Each structure stands twice: as structure tokens, then as C-alpha cells.
Amino acid sequence: MVGYTNKAHSAALAPSKRAPQRIGSPSSTDLARIQDNISLPNLHFEIDDYCSDWVYPPDHFDYIHVRRLYGTVGDWPEFYKECYEYEKTPHPSLASFDCIADSMPYSHLAPGAFLEHTETSVTLMSDDDSIPHGSAFQQSNALAIVCGQRFGKPMAIQNRIKGWITEAGFEDVVEEVFKWPLGDWPADPKLKDIGRWNATLWNLGIEGWSLRLLTQTHGWTADEVRRWNKDIRNQITARKSHGYQLV
Ligand SMILES: C[S@@+](CC[C@H](N)C(=O)[O-])C[C@H]1O[C@@H](n2cnc3c(N)ncnc32)[C@H](O)[C@@H]1O
């Protein structure tokens, strides 16, 4: 699992029936040990920067799972190359592997292995024009994209992933796209339920997503960001905007 944060997420995947049997001890990575109490059976945690050269030996993984890493990677084609086919000078820690030569491409995925990337769009859309011009929701669309550009790590990647993965050389690339409502506005019970989960994610996450980015890339004050966060939360609660993201 690349980019961890979430115990429930890792717990759901660690004993996964989808995981091929060869995975004895899946690893989950992040920049720091940011969660307490992350002891889980069948999972170990590693501190690793996935934007640096990967230090895993060839054919190491049967399954690489990536979720919601928009805004954290500057060069996605390079990221997928690390997963699939890697040609540049190997990291020194791999020098002891006889099978690695400078000129020979190798892969961090074993033959027949899988990469799965689940990503959300950062822009909110609606099918009924219910996101008012100038509203916090509408503002968030442009802000997210410009923040990514100024920060050097794109936010709007959800609709580019299939192309990048295909260009990296993966075969049998399958893309499924779903709507993920924001808030409990849908009539359909399942969409209402996942919309509530998304509202909780936004309510809890919005300050962390925006405070540093908007102060650093747009020059907003912390108070301005917090006021805007409140506008976003109010718009979610008001249920008048039938916004959704794509997943
Ligand atoms: C938006 S969170 C997504 C977490 C999790 N995958 C999920 O879906 O709930 C992105 C995570 O990636 C981590 N991260 C960002 N850049 C990273 C890097 N270069 N190497 C490793 N982890 C990184 C962050 O610390 C954060 O925990």
C-alpha cells in the first residue's frame, strides 16, 4: 500500500482475499509514522518516500495498491515506471542483487502481478447545475487545480491515470468510474450513505487539505482559509448543491 494514513483502509486490504497468496506480509508506506496503534496482523509499516527511487528488489510485489495520492506526486509517469519497468541506475542498496545491471530493465512487480490505483477527482460537479457560480464548491474546483500547479504536484489526475498506466507498459488496463456524492442529498439509499461518508471526510479533512496550500500558494491568511472552510461545510450541510466527485 503506497501512502497509508488510514488504519481502516490498511486493515481492509491486509487480509484481502484479492491479495495473491504469495503476499505473506504486505507493507504499507508513508513519509512518517503518523498513526498510533497501527499494529495489524499480516501488515507491516515502512517509512518510505515513494517519489524517490524505490529500494525494493526486482519482482518484489504481487500487488501494489495506490489510493488518493493526488497532489503528492510530481511525476506520475515516473511513479508508474517504478512499479512496472525501471531502467535507470538502480539504488545502491540493490547492488547486491546479481540480476540487476545498469542496462537491463527490471520491475518491482513480479510477472503477472497487479497494480491498482483508486483516485478521486478533486473537482465537484453536478448533473443539475446546482453548484452556484461563485460558491465555495465552485471556488474549490479552480483553487485545487491552481494549488497543484503552483505546488508542482498535480491534483487533477483521476482522468489521466489510465493513460499513464497504459503508457508505462501495463497490459489489460481496466478503468471503472463511479460517482461519489458529497453530502446526503441523493435519494438512492446507497448513494446517500456514501455521500454521508464523503461529507464526513470533507468536514474532517478540509482544513488539513487547504490550510498550508492556500496560505503558501495563494497568500491567504489562516483566518481566510478557515472562513472558506466554514463556507464549504455550510454548503455541504445545506444539501442544495448536488455535488459529486468521480472515483
Ligand atoms: C491523501 S493521503 C491518502 C492516504 C490513503 N491512501 C487513503 O486513501 O486514505 C496521502 C498520504 O500520502 C502520504 N505521502 C505524501 N507524499 C508522500 C511520499 N512522497 N512518500 C510517501 N508518502 C507520502 C501523506 O503523508 C499522506 O498520508
pLDDT at 27 (0 to 100)? 75
32, 56: one domain = yes
Mean pLDDT over 202-220 rounds to: 97
Q: How big is the chain by its Cα radius of gyration, in Å? A: 20
Range of the domain at 216: 121-155+178-247
Mean pLDDT for 1-30 is 57
Which pLDDT belongs to residue 11?
Answer: 54
pLDDT for 45 beyond 60? yes
Q: Calculate the average pLDDT of the chain.
A: 87
The reply to whether 43 and 100 lie within a common domain is: yes
234 against 27, higher pLDDT? 234
Nearest CA owner, ligand 1 atom 15: 72
Determine the distance separating the centroid of ligand 1 and the alpha carbon of 29, expressed in angstroms.
Answer: 8
Least confident of 22-36, 118-132, 205-219: 22-36
Query: Which residue has the least CA distance to atom 20 on ligand 1?
Result: 49
pLDDT above 80 for 84: yes
Counting Cβ atoms within 10 Å, is residue 57 exposed (0-12), middle (13-18) or buried (19+)?
middle
What pLDDT score was predicted for residue 20?
A: 39
Whole-number pLDDT of residue 80: 94
More confident residue, 85 or 234: 234
For ligand 1, is residue 49 a contact (CB within 6 Å)?
yes
Say how far apart CA 210 and CA 205 lie, in whole Å: 9
217 alpha carbon to ligand 1 midpoint, in Å? 20
116 lines ligand 1 (CB under 6 A): no
Ligand 1 binding pocket includes 6 (Cβ within 6 Å)? yes
pLDDT digits (tens, 9 = 90+) for 142-184: 999 999 999 999 999 999 999 999 999 999 999 999 999 999 9
Residues 205 and 240 in one domain: yes
Same domain, 92 and 59: yes
Q: Who has greater pLDDT, 192 or 56?
A: 192
Cβ pair 153, 132 in contact under 8 A: no
Q: What is the 3-state secondary structure (H, E, C) of the chain?
A: CECCCCHHHHHHHCCCCCCCCCCCCCEEEECCCCCCCCCCCCCEEEECCCCCCCCCCCCCEEEEEEECCCCCCCCHHHHHHHHHCECCCCCHHHCCCCCCCCCCCECCEEEEEEEEEECCCCCCECCCCCCCCCCHHHHHHHHHHHHHHHHCCCCCCCCCHHHHHHHCCCCCCCCCCCEEECCCCCCCHHHHHHHHHHHHHHHHHHHHHHHHHHHHHHCCCHHHHHHHHHHHHHHHHHCCCCCEEEC
Show which of 118, 143, 170 is a domain's final residue.
118
Please indicate, yes or no, whether residues 94 and 131 belong to a single structural domain of this protein: no
Task: Assess if residue 223 is contained within a domain.
Answer: yes
Compute φ and ψ for 172, nearest 5 degrees: 55, 45
Q: Which of 31-40, 47-56, 105-114, 128-137 has the lowest mean pLDDT?
A: 31-40
User: Does any ligand 1 atom lie closer than 6 A to the CB of residue 38?
Assistant: no
Do 65 and 116 contact (CB within 8 A), yes or no? yes
Give distance in angstroms: CA of 72 to centre of ligand 1: 7
What φ, ψ does residue 112 adopt, rounded to 5°?
A: 80, 5
Residues 86 and 62 in one domain: yes
Query: 233: CA distance to ligand 1 center in Å?
Result: 23
Look at strands 27-30 and 44-47 and give their pairing: parallel
Flag whether 164 is in a domain.
Answer: no
* Contact 31 CB / ligand 1 (< 6 Å): yes
Q: Is residue 165 part of a domain?
A: no
Question: pLDDT grade, residue 196 (50/70/90)?
Answer: very high
Do 110 and 210 lie in one domain? The reply is: no
Do residues 128 and 114 share a domain? no
Closest CA to 247 of 122, 96, 111, 61: 122
User: 145 and 28: one domain?
Assistant: no
| 138 and 73 within one domain | no
Same-domain check for residues 138 and 235: yes
**Cβ–ligand 1 contact at 72 (below 6 Å):** yes
